[in-house]
Structure 1
Amino acid sequence: MLVEKKKTDYITAYTGDSVLLPCSCTDGHTKPESFTWKKHNTNRNSWDVISNESEQYRNRVQLGTAHSPGNLSLHISHLTEEDEGVYRCYFNQWKYKNIKLTIKGCVLEHNRETKHITAHTGDSVLLPCSCTDLHAKPANFTWKKYNPNSKTWEVISSESEQYRNRVQLGIVHSPGNLSLLISHLTEEDEGDYDCMHKEYEQLYIRLTFKVSPQTLPYIPFALVTVIFLHIIVAVVYYTKRNKDPE
């Protein structure tokens, strides 16, 4: 029989991670004739059987382990927000265990705000974007740049000619870090950028370039020395001339 009967456990996990929903027989060496895992469908108020063949869970779920026949635990990988809900390890109608799984997803920090960043051509710049919880990995996100000529937002890719070998995503090793690093900046990189997670969560960044301060024209050291010596000779000459009697 199951260790727990009609008891609910509570587990919290993050999007992009894996989770183990524990369930086992009291005797770990005893394998039940049959058991199933089900998830409560709130829309239909019914229990759907979890299968590795279903579209939602394909190549994402694994049942038990061969080393322990009585281990009926369910392992789910690459978690999404849709995986949140109540699961049931079902032995029969009298013996089952419920697990309430809560999924913490990515909520974009500074959502709908606009940040202003300045940089110099030739340098590198980090365009910051992150989830409020850095442990949460979004299922997908994109960086885009506004093209004023076509008046469209174009996806930034390291494979494109403009950004090849110049862009890098999430240089800080944290699932919720979505920042974009652009190196070897050119004047064409100036403009408006969009870090988008879902249609309603996005952060805008306006990148502008500073005008480098104008440097004085380069004058060779030898030329400066010669000019300086001529000035000294002239000063000495006129000083001596003024002192000599007429």
Structure 2
Amino acid sequence: MPRLADRRARIELLRAAEAAFTERGLAAARVEDITERAGVSKGAFYLHFQSKDDCFKQIVETFIARLADCVEPPPIVFEAERASVNEYFKRVLAHDLEVLEFCWQNRALLRMMLAGGGGTPYAYLIDEFAQRVARQVEGRVRYAIDIGLYRRDLEPSVIAALISGAFDRLVRKLIDAPSRPDIAAWAAQVLQLFTHGLLAPEVRAVADLSVMEAPPRSARQTADPPPASASSSERRRSKAKAT
């Protein structure tokens, strides 16, 4: 009778594999490194994954899905028509900060994917994701122009390229930082720089740029959450502890 896959063992293998890959790179990490960390046999590994590459691909796909959930906020965040200008920018800043925090917390895996370190062939997934984000940003810029929030002389595709490109470089700088930077201050500075040039004159006249300032350090989350391969229930428990 064939052995049945054990969900708990699979989770432990994914967690162990993520640690092994980020420490040693895809090429150098061995299946034995993963199974020793997870406390299971090689047979158990191949019960869940066809190969080491298959295991890494599942980690990457899970990470991309989580990043997509983080980048794509609930619609209310960007519904400026139902909020004051200042409340709108508070929401945008909170969203940007959440995305940057996620990237920092998963910096080792993200760094390996972006740099192609250790022979990983999945950097193209990040490029595809970046293109999708640029299209989303362009849609939001068009919406902001339509409702009179942004200047009407702007070309949405150009602004979207500038915003998404700037965040791409910011994330790369963030994940290469030797120690944790002031992420909230970074997010606030980027928002202030972009919105100062994008806002329609009548909106700029009533906008309070102080709402885009970083919150006090004591109010910021500093604890790292579970790794990208952690289950959704584990992530919810971690978030509850942080709050």
Higher relative CO (Cα under 8 Å, sequence separation at least 6) belongs to 2
Greater helix proportion: 2
Greater strand proportion: 1
TM-score with structure 1 length normalisation? 0.29
Rg bigger for which structure? 1
